[in-house]
Amino acid sequence: GAVVSQHPSWVICKSGTSVKIECRSLDFQATTMFWYRQFPKQSLMLMATSNEGSKATYEQGVEKDKFLINHASLTLSTLTVTSAHPEDSSFYICSARTQRVLNTEAFFGQGTRLTVV
Amino acid sequence: GNSVTQMEGPVTLSEEAFLTINCTYTATGYPSLFWYVQYPGEGLQLLLKATKADDKGSNKGFEATYRKETTSFHLEKGSVQVSDSAVYFCALRPPSNQGGKLIFGQGTELSVKP
């Protein structure tokens, strides 16, 4: 299947700083990327959907000014957690798919473990 | 609205036992249905999928059949291995597509003992 690479796989940052997570589709053009957050032993919560060249669409309850999403190219989307706090510590997962072919599934990155201290 | 409900875990089985993880959904129309697997510390991998009623998805010995009449997509495997230990997520993609976003169940942890 297609490959989606997320970087970094884990990061520790100080409270109040910002951290950027990258999501790349390595062998296909991702017209749409999704960012999820996963709490321990829980399901994935969709945070936002981004289409290349457009502003991201955020799910209800997700602060767009805190979780900045950029999808500047067909192979790269970034999630920046601004002014991080310990409660932002979580596992963040991106997924990507192309809408140029009907009924394709989304492919997931390996996730980023964020710890805010 | 759209939702997915899975049986609660953890599920603990002995090697070569039969596995069933129940999944039911609520959706308008005919969503696409998926099973994903997550190994510790990793992202999700697509295990199998079905896009219309009565379709059977299968992969690596796992199977699931799209049952419209019972709104279910139960995951089964005839003989589990220790390497199958992971968290399994049932998911649906609404028929309206909504950009392709997925709605996940809460996940079911499977632990297979030798």
The rounded distance, in Å, linking the Cα atoms of B45 and A78 is: 21
Distance of CA B31 to the CA centre of its chain: 14
> What are the backbone dihedrals phi and psi of residue B84, each rounded to the nearest 5 degrees, phi first?
-80, -5
Distance of CA B20 to the CA centre of its chain: 10
Q: Is the dihedral of CA A108, B112, A113, A5 positive or negative?
A: negative
- A30 and A97 Cβ atoms separated by less than 8 Å: yes
Distance of CA B91 to the CA centre of its chain: 7
Which residues from B are below 8 Å from A when comparing CB atoms? Answer: 32, 34, 36, 41-46, 49, 51, 89, 99-107, 109
The rounded distance, in Å, linking the Cα atoms of B47 and A33 is: 20
- The secondary structure of residue A106, as a DSSP letter, is P
Q: What is the pLDDT of residue A43?
A: 84
pLDDT digits (tens, 9 = 90+) for B49-76: 999 999 999 999 999 999 999 999 999 9
pLDDT tens over chain A, length 117 residues: 678 999 999 999 999 999 999 999 998 888 899 999 998 777 889 999 998 888 899 999 999 999 999 988 889 999 999 999 999 999 999 999 886 666 667 889 999 999 999
Residue from A24, A41, A43, A88 nearest A62 by CA = A88
pLDDT digits (tens, 9 = 90+) for B84-113: 999 999 999 887 665 678 889 999 999 999
* Chain B residues closer than 8 Å to A57 by CB: 99
- A36 and A45 Cβ atoms separated by less than 8 Å: yes
CA-CA distances (angstroms) from residue A83 to A92, A113, B89, B101?
A: 16, 17, 31, 27
The rounded distance, in Å, linking the Cα atoms of A7 and A21 is: 6
Which of A49, A105, A110 is the closest to B101 by Cβ? A49
Q: Please give the full DSSP string across B47-99, using - where no structure is assigned.
A: EEEE-STT-EEEETTEEEE-BTTTTB--EEESS--GGG-EEEEEEEE-TT-GG
Query: Which residue is closest to B35 within chain A, CA to CA?
Result: A105
* Chain B residues closer than 8 Å to A99 by CB: 99-100
Give the pairing type, strands B44-50 and B32-38: antiparallel
Half-sphere exposure (Cβ direction) of A36: Cα atoms closer than 13 Å: 24
Residue from B35, B30, B32 nearest B20 by CA = B35
Which residues from A are below 8 Å from B when comparing CB atoms? Answer: 1, 4, 6, 32, 34, 41-44, 46, 49, 51, 57, 93, 95, 97, 99, 103, 105-111, 113
Q: What is the pLDDT of residue A6?
A: 94
The rounded distance, in Å, linking the Cα atoms of A82 and B31 is: 35
Q: CB distance B99–A107 less than 8 Å?
A: no
CA-CA distances (angstroms) from residue A8 to B62, B75, B98?
A: 32, 32, 29
